[in-house]
Structure 1
Amino acid sequence: MILRRFVKFVSFVAVSFLVLSCSNTRFLKEGELLYLGADVEVKSDSLSRKERKAMRKELEALTRPRPNKSILGLRPKLYIWNLAGEPKKEKGFRNWLRTKVGEEPVLFHQVDLDYNADVLQSYAQNKGYFKAVVSADSTRRGKKAKANYVITPGPRYTIKSVTFPKDTVGTSDLDSTIARTQRRTLLKVGDGFDLDVIKSERERIDSRLKQKGYFFFKPDHLKVQVDSTIGEHKVDLFVKVKSDTPEEAKKVYKINDIFIYPNFTVRKDTVGIDSTDVTYYKDFIIIDKQDLFKPRIFDRTMYFKKGDVYSRNNHNLTLSRLTNLGVFKFVKNDFKVVDDDTDDKLDAFYYLTPLPKKSIRIEVLGKTNSANYTGSELNVNWSNRNTFKGAELLQITGFGGLEVQVSGQNKGFNVYRVGGEANLVWPRFISPFKLESASGFMPRTKATIGYEYQMRQQLYSLNSFKGSFGYLWKENARKEHELKVSEITYVNPGNVTDLYRQRIDEDQTGTLEKVIRQQLIFGPIYSYTYTNTMRQRLKHQIYFKGVLDVAGTIAGIATGANVRKGDTTKVFGVPFSQYVKVEADFRHYWKFSDKTQLASRIIAGYGYAYGNSYELPFVKQFFIGGTNSIRAFRARSIGPGSYDTTVNEDEFLPDQSGDIKLELNTEIRQKLFSIVHGAAFVDAGNIWLRQKNPEKPGAEFSSKFLDELAVGTGIGLRFDLSFLILRTDLAFPLRKPYLPEGQRWVIDQIDFGSSNWRKENLVFNLAIGYPF
């Protein structure tokens, strides 16, 4: 039976392939040929097979036009174009299907063989194959045609020597400066000649000269002469300054006066200087008639001082810091040569257009969380971007929301949230001792205070208070640090219903009682983030975030707290938590093409409670499962370890938690058409307890932890609406860790035709945004 179905399926696929392949050409007019692309043959005895393959790939990518996109030899987008037909209207479904989803046929008459041959020959010569010869032809089969190019590159010319200007007595300052850059040259003896490397070398030298004050110098003022007459397929390179380089490009410029317009508009009269408007502060001339900003903020952001040699690096860092202050809508600058005897000074002008000082923003959000709750939230945010005239940002937010669990064990117990938060951010380090950041990003000091009231319908309510003080700073665009010198969290329960108390009495594990315990947590938190995901051209992108959370250490040492003595030490009548918790989140994105990507994630976490605590406070414990975790299992329903949460079918609100966490995810993402993207994924992971709990057999971490990983798989669709990404995932388990050993893999039980299997195993997730 299974074999017969498989044969039918293969036959259906084969017929479908044949039909799709033939149907694309039957729509062509008489004499038209469908263009299938270009083949390039590289004929060379001196190149290895690998080198010929690489050259062929590079050259084929240069040919134009590009053929219709294909998948396994099929062209589905072209098929959709033909299937939709000529629309009668410029708008409508057929027009959308034809122009947005489909793709117009690329015909052979659009191909210029001679032009492509010239492009390939020029490219090969620029790579050092000076004697390259290219011929072009075509082949036809039915109503399809291909372009064929044969290139005989000949030997590649290599670099024999590189000569820079001399750094000797009598040499001009410009030549001497260029000579001193030779140590880091990109032109290496023995390398193949490459015009792109020569262009990069000119840009490198120009960048170095900009650091040394040559404000008006440009890469075009340099030339690299090539002597290919020396024989043996070698070249000598000579780096020189062009003879027609203007005198201003040969001068080193210094900064003279620095003018700052912090309230600049496009009106012409705003750049005039009235003596009553001017503030002289250190090396700056500030024209701020309305006295919007304290002058000292410019001393923190400006990297230029009067008398400094111009530096492109300082130029860019200054602009970056001014922009990063967050109070200016536009930041631009200009340099003008001072008309004096030396003619080698620059006046610097900074024109800053401020954002509105105060603003209010109202947001209505759709949201999901890891516990499968879906709902909406209303946020009202009031901001003051220049609270004390030092670019301080004060934000006061009020929020309220409703969340409903659309799937899972606890449907019907809605969550209502209301609260507020105030944040004050200073664009500098505030500390008893001096701290500096040398990056183009302004360091920040942040103070936060907030309150939230949460009511879980028919169960309980929680009052949460939070306050923190800390620092945020970036080394560069990739590396970011955050240090909360202290974060204080106080959770106090209220309105616990009889229903919930009854369930607490029935729960032998103590899980439900943890949720409504009073909690007092205070201590520092440090996090480090590294990412290069903003560099879209990279084939491999990574993201890493590590967090170290330490609570109650000093208080525990000072009081000698030790819960094992039979009691806990309290602050204001509440036991404080004492623990160390570390967590690492590593993600890798492998871009196969502009439309295909493999995304993977590893999360590992460990928490150790000691002193005044037996275990981590509930809000700091690890959870797993749900829409952004292991999607084949309900939120917080896995683990810990091999503990079986299904033993008691009436168990209430499991919310299983642990001290140790390991999670692994990977998914292939593919753009299908228009706003629709598809994904196929595999998730694995679990949580464990650090110590044995008699009420939860199999929950503790052991050497068998790999045998206790939950595994799930599934497929999904993502709808990219630009302002948000709506995600749907359909998943099912492959491995259930709570089953007896030897029976945990359930792949052989998969049966999509069984309603009972679907009801027990299929999990549908609706979420906003990617899971990672």
Structure 2
Amino acid sequence: MYELPRYTIQKISIAGNKHVKIEDLKSNISTLKYTNRPYLFIKLNGYLSQKRSKKDSLNSKQSNLQLFSRIPDVLDTNYVQVQGLKIKNYYKSIGYLNAYVDYRIDTLSNQNVKIQYIISEGRPSLFTKDDTLIINNPALNKIVNSYLFSESLVKKNEILSTSILKNEKQKISETLRNQGYFYFNVDQVGIKINDIKDSTLTSVSLAYKIPNLNTSSSNVLYDRLFRIGTIRFNELQLEINEKEEKWISKLLTSNQLKRIVTFKEDELFSANRISQSLQNIYSTDQYKSVTIKFDTSATRVHPSIELIRNDRFNITSELGGSVFRGIPGPFITNTFKIRRVFSLLDNLEFSNRIGFEAQTGFINTDQTRKNLELNFTAVVNLPTLYLPVKYTKWTSNLIGSQTQFGIGYDYINRPEYLRSNLKVFQRYQWRKSEKEFFQLSLFDVNIINTNYPKTETATSFVTYLESLRERGNNLYRSFNPSFVSSILFQYNFRSFIPSNKLVSGKSFILGLESGGTTLNFIPNKRIGIIENLFQSDQDIQFYRYLRFNLDYRNYLLLGAKKQSQLAFKFIGGLAYVYGKENDYQLPYEKNFFIGGPSSIRAWKPRRLGPGSYNATTNLIEQPGSILIESSIEYRFRIMQLLGALNGAVFVDAGNIWNIDYPGQNSIGIWRANSFLSEIAVGTGVGLRWDFDFFLLRLDLASKMINPALPNNEKWVFNKIGFSSIENPIEFNIGIGYPF
């Protein structure tokens, strides 16, 4: 019969910890992660582990499932002391400088042992910000003192943390390297705890010392200012002959490259500007490799930027498809890029998409047909913001600046109609940092036209649009000949990199749009050339409107191991028509819609609202001019099953409304004294199956509060059911997280 070795450690326990969780100790001290618990498990573990070791010693093939591989630990007093020291050091690293750790070893009747660590945490040490600077160079002293006053990561009355001190040293180094100190590095900064002012170490002041004489990597030129010297661009080309291959460096002279490099000759060296410049060059998509080398003279840094070109021509194709009601819908997307068309850094990109996708008919939704969709777009990408010179001063610190001009054509062929959209647009795009993105379009023009074939299906569809118009739905305007022009601005902030992994962070999007702005300078608010272009017997629609939208999202990681997440979303929007020429109607695509897999999941896509309006059928999309939408979702891990299988619990709320225009009999009007009672609320649960390369999502949602019902009947959660008519469960399937 197998017996465990004498003095096998049966259990390791921790006592006395009040402010620090055991899970945090185990996750930061790897040797505490595994603890033997039930006696039977230890014995079984030891037996199978020994058996497997014998099998492995014979060079037998190991099984793929390596269970019970850890050999039970045997008592070693040195090991016990080392673990106690690690616990104490961890406490010191998070600000408990007076923590004390003792241990006790108990021998059990079966000669196994239990180890208990007894922790006396003491009071945490708090920063006082009553700090001391020991800096020989007066210029450095002034810069660091200014940094500590306005930008320091150390905050008064916060708990001391070695990670904060490490980041503080890095930030000081970055600050000085951005102000000309080329040879300065993090090792030059010394930060010590000053225990003279408070020997109990409950109130901690710091002593900043530059240079740090305790480091072996100190550079004598750490406090010397350097300016940018001669800037060189070298293009590396691979030369192939019969005997060998070698890289040849050729001097490259380019005003365009100089323009997108944010550091200039005679300026003080700045590490940030060097990084920005390399990103600017990469963003042109002209070079597969961009590296920089520095030569220094007495007070000059001479940058040499080495470049390896991308191929001039690039072609990509994507073939895919979808299946709807058993009918396949193939599509193909092609992209053709030509680099260096007009200059060294521009590119011209052509893309097209052809698809035969299955969709239901507008009128008879039981029928499914394949519809032809074509798209063609041509875009010229220029590597900077092309603006009048007097407006370019503020652009010197931007990253990835780009100007785009494009033209596109969309065509849809359905049995009910033939629809085309010719668009011409311009965009400025730039970033102020890795987190902030801006886009400005001075013109975005769409010329939309719809023709109806002489068929029974098309005639029935026109009649259907007319019936919707009589019920207050302006879907018909989406099919009338239209001229839609606008000026757009968008600001995007995101503190994290989007992925299927649970992360913490925030994002914010602000959008502003002015439609038909130039029409305000035309007496009849119409453009004759456009009207002649259509040559249609229908009234050509010109729109004037203002549109505002915002999108705020916040993600918090929860739990000791940060494996669950609380996600929050708020979206708001307002679209106001100030031109009465179209009966105060928006272009259909500029309306707000709500409901569906990535919105209020208890309602079908685009079918909620407006306000308390109760639609007679859910086949009709419901547009609105005001949007309020919010969701909160708790995401958590379940198990590994070919991928990470995660769960979610969520609550969604929101609605859309219409604006009360003069002489209009619109439904779902927004009223300040009643809109809160018209907020729809839904809840549900979901599964997320993460396969790394994509995430499959399934949500089951039901209504809690239905604003379309009378006041005393709005609560419908008690009427939930798979076969319920009043509150059926909605199934939502999607790819990726809903937000």
Report if TM-score (shorter chain) is over 0.5. Answer: yes
Deviations 1:169-207 (A, max 9, x none): xx6xx4652464234345789988765555444434433
1:392 — aligned with what?
A: 346
CA deviation after TM superposition for structure 1 residue 506, in Å = 4.0
Q: Of 44, 64, 68, which residue of structure 1 is paired with 2:30?
A: 64
The 2-side partners of 1:731 and 1:749 are apart by 13
- Displacement, 1:412? 3.2
- 2:400 counterpart SS class: coil
Shift of residue 151 of structure 1? Answer: 2.6
Other structure's SS at 2:708 match: coil
**Cα drift, residue 513 of structure 1:** 2.6
Give the counterpart letter for 2:145 in structure 1: Q
1:318 to 243, 257, 277: 277
Query: Paired residue for 1:215?
Result: 182
Evaluate the alpha carbon distance shift between residue 381 and residue 411 of structure 1 in structure 2; reply closer, same or farther with a 3 A threshold.
farther
Matched residue, 1:723: 693
1:331-382 CA-partner distances (Å, limit 9, x unpaired)? 11111334xxxx444332211122222111111345799xxx9965321111
Give the superposition deviation at 1:32: 11
1:714: how far off? 2.4
Q: Structure 1 residues 633 and 56 mapped into 2: Cα distance closer, same or farther (>3 Å)? A: closer
Gap change, CA 1:157 and 1:583, over 3 Å in 2: closer
| Separation (CA, whole Å) in 2 of partners of 1:749 and 1:439 | 58
Give the deviation of 1:449 after TM superposition: 1.0
Cα 1:640–1:140 shift into 2, 3 Å: farther
The within-5 A match list for 1:232-631 is: 232-233=199-200, 237=207, 239-242=209-212, 245-249=218-222, 251-264=224-237, 287-288=251-252, 295-338=254-297, 343-365=298-320, 377-404=331-358, 410-414=365-369, 415-433=371-389, 434-435=391-392, 436-456=394-414, 458-495=415-452, 497-507=458-468, 508-509=470-471, 511=473, 512-534=475-497, 540-561=504-525, 574-593=540-559, 594-611=562-579, 612-614=581-583, 615-631=585-601
Q: Any unmatched runs of 5+ in structure 2?
A: 36-40, 56-62, 535-539
Q: 1:396 to 1:189 in 2, by over 3 A?
A: closer
Separation (CA, whole Å) in 2 of partners of 1:660 and 1:556: 24
Select 2:650's aligned residue among 667, 676, 681.
Answer: 681
Match of 1:152 among 93, 96, 120: 120
> Superposition pairs for residues 13-24 of structure 1, below 5 Å?
none
1:664 aligns with 2:618: no
Change (3 A) 1:515 1:346: closer
In the superposition, the TM-score normalised over structure 1's length comes to 0.75
- The answer for the alignment partner of 2:58 in structure 1 is none
Q: Kindly indicate whether the alpha-carbon contact (under 8 Å) linking 1:363 and 1:378 is maintained by their aligned counterparts in 2.
A: yes
When structure 1 is superposed on structure 2, of 403-412 and 433-442 the one drifting more is: 403-412
1:391 Cα offset (Å): 1.5
1:622 is paired with a residue whose SS is coil
Residues 629-644 of structure 1: matches in 2 within 5 Å? 629-644=599-614
Distance in 2 (alpha carbons) for counterparts of 1:196 and 1:29: 42
User: 1:318, 1:440 within 8 Å by CA — same for their partners in 2?
Assistant: no
In the alignment, the residues of structure 2 paired with residue 534 and residue 28 of structure 1 have an alpha-carbon distance, to the nearest angstrom, of 52
Answer yes or no: is the 8 Å Cα contact 1:621–1:658 preserved in 2: yes
Alignment-derived partner of residue 659 in structure 2 = 690
Q: Is the 8 A contact 1:210 1:311 kept in 2?
A: yes
Q: Note if contact 1:67-1:106 (Cα within 8 Å) is conserved in structure 2.
A: no
1:5 equivalent in structure 2: none
C-alpha displacement of 1:487:
0.8
Match of 1:134, as an amino acid?
A: V
Q: Which moved more, 1:122-131 or 1:295-304?
A: 122-131
Tell which deviates more after alignment, 196-205 or 156-165: 156-165
CA distance in 2, matches of 1:771, 1:506: 34
Question: What residue identity is the alignment partner of 1:426?
Answer: L
Distance, in Å, in 1 between the alignment partners of 2:132 and 2:727 is: 75
Residue 537 of structure 2 corresponds to which residue in structure 1?
none
Deviations 1:710-757 (A, max 9, x none): 3322222223233332222232323333223321221121235xxx32
**Matched residue of 1:181: which SS?**
helix
> Which residue is equivalent to 1:565?
none
Structure 2 contact 658–670 (Cα < 8 Å) conserved = yes
Aligned to 1:714: 684
- Render the CA deviation track for 1:72-109: whole Å, top value 9, x for unaligned: xxx9xxx9xx9xxx9x9xxxxxx89x67xx99889666
Number of aligned pairs? Answer: 672
Map 1:61-100 → 2, pairs under 5 A: 61-65=27-31, 67=33
Instruction: Tell which deviates more after alignment, 127-136 or 719-728.
Output: 127-136
- For 1:110 and 1:764, the matched residues in 2 are separated by 56
- The alpha-carbon deviation at position 765 of structure 1 amounts to 2.3
2:708 paired with 1:750:
no
Shift of 1:30: 9.7
From 25, 39, 47, the counterpart of 2:14: 39
Q: Distance in 1 between matches of 2:83 and 2:304?
A: 49
Give the alignment partner of residue 738 of structure 1, picking from 708, 716, 721. Answer: 708
Alignment RMSD, CA only?
Answer: 4.5
Q: Residues of 2 paired with 1:494 and 1:110: CA distance?
A: 86
Percentage of matched positions with identical amino acids? 22
Structure 2 distance, partners of 1:230, 1:318, is 46
Amino acid in the other structure paired with 1:764: F
How far 1:660 sits from its partner (Å)? 1.7
SS class of match (2:231): strand
Q: Name the counterpart of 1:49.
A: none
- The answer to whether residue 100 in structure 2 is matched with residue 133 in structure 1 is yes
CA distance in 2, matches of 1:551, 1:121: 64
Q: CA 1:685–1:123 in 2, change beyond 3 Å: closer, same or farther?
A: closer
Q: How far, CA to CA, are the matches of 2:206 and 2:704 in structure 1?
A: 64
> How far, CA to CA, are the matches of 2:725 and 2:399 in structure 1?
52
- Residue 114 (str. 1) matches residue 81 (str. 2): yes
Deviates more, 1:229-238 or 1:380-389: 229-238
Q: What residue ranges of structure 1 are gaps of 5+ in the alignment?
A: 1-26, 43-51, 70-74, 89-94, 278-286, 289-293, 563-568
- Matching residue of 2:59: none
Stretch deviating more after TM superposition (605-614 or 465-474) = 605-614
CA gap 1:621/1:68 in 2 versus in 1, 3 angstroms: farther
| Distance in 2, Cα, partners of 1:142 & 1:377 | 73
Residue identity matched to 1:318: S
* Deviations, residues 533-582 of structure 1 (Å, cap 9, x unaligned): 239999752211121121113313422549xxxxxx96756231111111
Residue 54 of structure 1 deviates from its aligned partner by 4.7
Q: 1:396 to 1:360 in 2, by over 3 A?
A: same
Distance 2:546 2:185 in 1: 55
Supply the distance in 2 between the matched residues of 1:295 and 1:490 (Cα, whole angstroms). 39
* CA distance 1:715–1:471, change in 2 (3 Å): same
Larger displacement relative to structure 2 (388-397 or 188-197):
188-197
CA 1:269–1:608: 2 relative to 1, 3 Å? same
CA 1:588–1:35 in 2, change beyond 3 Å: closer, same or farther?
A: farther
SS in 2 for 1:247: coil
